[in-house]
Amino acid sequence: MIVRITSALLAAAMSLGSPPALAYEIFVTNERDNTISVIDSQTLEVVRTFATGRRPRGLVFSKDGKMLFVCASDSDAVQVIDPASGALLHDLPSGEDPEQFALAPDGQTLFIANESNATTTIIDARTRKVLAQVDVGIEPEGMAVSPDGKTAVTTSETTNMVHWIDVASLKAEDATPVGQRPRHAEFSADGKTLWVSSEIGGTVAVIDTASHAVLKTIHFTLPAISQDRI
């Protein structure tokens, strides 16, 4: 799910001379019916729905908000869509079964987790060309790029690892074990730590980005659920 500011509503508020009341649109991918729903954050109503390729998963906006990138997993494509009209602008090559992805700070390079074939595909969104495919662990899902754009990471759900990719060479350089079934990865704003959530492990690993060592593991325990049911 992605949230973006609706610029038209902001402009209208500013023209009235009052502080802008932030209005948002929430974009949600619907895997089963191959659509994206757009929800008004104030009314929580669906304001429009548009079609995508098969089984849309991850999505991210370009820096200027004018393009929406969508992983159409079963179409083996990253689709570039006009978020205002829902029109398909073009497809990008993505590798097999794109799951989640991250847009580098340069606004051009996409790092895509390919769940079915244990790779990360790296593409140039402007030239629409594949730059590299990097072997990672089994069932890659989470993707993130460091704030300085020098490092990308992929989480592999079955291997239970974070894979570190050097952006300059586009090669995997290290791997860090984490809890079971890591899903989401997020760099801190200063780039000094990486936070990785593990779905089955019920943990968040806080990792030092310089040494790739786990600094701390945060455990989430539900008292009503026994450990063998997690």
Count: domains in the chain: 1
For residues 93-101, give the mean pLDDT.
Answer: 92
pLDDT digits (tens, 9 = 90+) for 64-79: 999 999 999 999 999 9
Q: What is the chain's mean pLDDT, rounded?
A: 89
Give Cα separations from 102 to 70, 152, 164, 217 (angstroms): 11, 9, 14, 24
Confidence at residue 4, expressed as pLDDT on a 0 to 100 scale: 40
Pair 59, 27: CB distance under 8 Å: yes
Residues facing 51 on adjacent strands = 35
**pLDDT higher at 164 or 222:** 164
**Residue ranges making up the domain that contains 156:** 2-229
CATH number at residue 166: 2.130.10.10
Q: How confident is the model at residue 22 (pLDDT cuts 50, 70, 90)?
A: low
The DSSP element (H or E) to which 95 belongs, if any, is none
As a whole number of angstroms, the longest Cα–Cα distance in the chain is 58
What confidence category does residue 59 fall into, taking pLDDT thresholds of 50, 70 and 90? very high
Ranges 19-23, 91-95, 199-203, 206-210: which has the least confidence: 19-23
